[in-house]
Amino acid sequence: MAASGRARRHAAIAARLRRACSATIATACSRAPPVTGWSADCRITFHRGARSRAQREAVRQLPLLAPARNGVTRRSVGRIADVGAPVAGHAGPKSREALAAALADARDYTRRCYAHLAGGDPVFPCIAIVNPARWELGHIGWFQEFWCRRWRPDDRAGARTPARIANADALWNSSRVPHDSRWALPLPDWAGIDRYLGETYADTMASLATSGDGERYPYELSLYHEDMHGEALLMTLQTLGYAPPDGFPPPAGVGRAAPVRDIAFVGGALGMGSTPDDERERFVFDNEKLRHRVDVGAFAIASRTVTEDEFAAFVDDGGYRRSDLWSEDGRRWLAVAGRTVPAYWRPCASGYEVRWFDRWRPLSPGTAIQHVNAYEAEAWCAACPPRRSGNSRRPGPARRSGRGSTPARPGRAPRRRAAARPHTCWATSGSGLRRRSARTRASPPTGTPIIRRPGSAIIA
């Protein structure tokens, strides 16, 4: 295939992916339904332009992926027993053998993630960040089948090659099937869905075996699409309070965190985005292109994330009741949400408990705070006392993925910041919150939750 033909093909696939599964999903809360305990009902909020790019910069990580490098797409979500392994580098699978292994890994994970639900066939509530269980699994199989078996440059609708399941396009093409209608579709039963996942995977492996160099973009696309939904499957279980997948270990508690300090950056030029050379080494979504210069002003960032213990001090200090800490938009959100603690928290005799899927655990003092949105992060930053900065450094690409928001001093309740203090911005770092201070006032948060859910979720 000529280079120009491949470019047109890749552009068509990328455009279809944007319609099928949005680049980012953000959530905001209303009052909590009984099934979710202290979590909340949600809606989707999309952002465009610079704020959308900034949102994608702060890639949220699932708890199981927290040790992985932040801001770097994983090669695959990985087998449940191995998901804690860190990513070695930026390179992704490109060869037939590497892609075959990654696709097998992803499909094994997908089939295991909801396996413990099959016997009860639960009916999930119709809320914006959740899909019906059998619909989402079938959609994963359909997407892979469409791009790896049916799609052709001269048959963009895949009409010449029928799907394994009759009327599959009407069931699972997310660009044409409205979200709320998915609960009323005549979907196959669990055995039929599992069979479809097996057949589409086998077809993909057969097609991949005959692919040549430069012709494997659809397989990479299918892999990362499945990985994205793999995170969404766990997010759904957490949101609705279901048990985790079999063999999924609970997180270990963390003791007191190390002392925290601010690290000052003098600012400078940053090359943001991907280059053509990057595409030869790893998969690049079109919204990562092209590399361009961004001038970064001087700022300071905390040396580690905010911990659960530190955020509990903010709660105990009346952080959710102090209107002076909240922006105008934040106060409006708080009035609707009725929130007095972070999502999935509840008061208990010893302080607070945090819900992990279907069970409650004690607060872990040194664990990074999760499940707070931009408004909560901004309020925490406003209450955080100033700190001395360490040695100045210059920004670089390796530092971008570590952007975060705000910690208070360990063991101390946050206090209202001084009026003359530089503006404090919110951001994310992996599964935690860190502080970033700048001399020039940045744009206020738009309401995009930065660590609202247990993982970055791309839901079709």
Q: Which residue has the tokens 């900065």?
A: 389
How long a stretch of residues is the chain? Answer: 460
Higher pLDDT, residue 233 or 78: 233
Give yes or no for residue 354 having a pLDDT over 90.
Answer: yes
Residue 292, both tokens: 């361009």
Q: pLDDT at position 218, please?
A: 93
* Residue from 143, 107, 136 nearest 13 by CA: 143
Give pLDDT, residue 50. 42
3-state secondary structure of 426: strand
Residues 6+ apart with CB under 8 A from 27: 42, 43, 44, 45, 128, 129, 373, 449, 452, 453
- Mean pLDDT is lowest, of 120-129, 179-188, 321-330, 410-419, for 410-419
Q: Give CA–CA dist 445/385, Å, rounded.
A: 20
Buried b or exposed e, range 333-372, using 16+ CB within 10 angstroms? bbeebebebbbbbeeeeeebbbbebeeeeebbbbbbbbbb
Task: Answer whether residue 445 shows pLDDT above 70.
Answer: no
Backbone angles phi, psi at 154, to 5 degrees: -100, 10
Residues 331-339, mean pLDDT to the nearest whole number: 96
pLDDT in tens, 288-297: 888 999 999 9
**Is the pLDDT at 201 greater than 50, yes or no?**
yes
pLDDT band at 7 (very low <50, low <70, confident <90, very high): low
In angstroms, rounded to a whole number, what is the distance separating the alpha carbons of residues 284 and 116? Answer: 34
The residue behind tokens 């997948």 is 245
DSSP, collapsed to helix, strand or coil, labels residue 159 as coil
Q: What is the pLDDT of residue 239?
A: 96
Dihedral sign, Cα of residue 146, residue 151, residue 157, residue 163: negative
Alpha-carbon distance of 251 to 404, in angstroms, equals: 22
Nearest to 427 by CA among 398, 395, 451: 451
> 69-240 is classed in which CATH architecture?
Up-down Bundle (1.20)
Residue 94's nearest CA partner among 332, 279, 371, 328 is: 279
- 393: DSSP letter: B
Residue 251 banded pLDDT, cuts 50, 70, 90:
confident
pLDDT for position 448: 28
Per the model's pLDDT, the better-predicted residue between 139 and 459 turns out to be 139
pLDDT, position 26: 31
Q: How confident is the model at residue 287 (pLDDT cuts 50, 70, 90)?
A: confident
Could you tell me the pLDDT band of residue 326, with boundaries at 50, 70 and 90?
Answer: very high
> Could you give the percent of the chain with pLDDT greater than 90?
52
Is pLDDT above 70 for 279?
A: yes
Give residue 11's pLDDT band: very low, low, confident or very high (50, 70, 90).
Answer: low
Report whether pLDDT(6) > 70.
no
Going by pLDDT thresholds of 50, 70 and 90, the confidence category of residue 286 is: confident
Kindly report, residue by residue over 100-118, the tens digit of the pLDDT.
999 999 999 999 999 999 9
Place of tokens 């440059």: 153
385 Cβ neighbours under 8 A, 6+ residues apart:
408, 409, 412, 414, 415, 417
- Give Cα 329 distance to the centre of its chain: 23
pLDDT (average), residues 418-428: 32
**pLDDT average, residue stretch 429-452:** 33
pLDDT of residue 10: 55
Q: Check pLDDT > 80 for residue 347.
A: yes
Residue 91 has a pLDDT of 65
Which pLDDT band, with edges at 50, 70 and 90, does 209 fall under?
very high
- Strand 351-356's sheet: what is its strand order? 345-348, 351-356, 359-362
**Band of the pLDDT at 429, cuts 50, 70, 90?**
very low
What are the tens digits of pLDDT across the range 53-69? 333 333 222 333 333 33
Q: How many CB atoms lie within 10 A of CB 305?
A: 28
Whether residue 416 is predicted with pLDDT greater than 90 in this model: the reply is: no
Work out the pLDDT band at 389, boundaries 50, 70, 90.
Answer: low
Within 10 A of 156 (CB to CB), how many other CB atoms are there? 13
pLDDT-derived band at 221 (thresholds 50, 70, 90) equals very high
Which of 80-94, 210-224, 332-346 has the weakest average pLDDT?
A: 80-94
Average pLDDT in the chain: 74
Q: How far apart are CA 115 and CA 204, in angstroms?
A: 22
Per-residue model confidence as pLDDT tens digits over 26-39: 322 333 333 333 33
pLDDT at 138: 98
Q: So where are the chain's domains? A: 69-240, 262-438
Q: Which is more confidently placed, 139 or 69?
A: 139
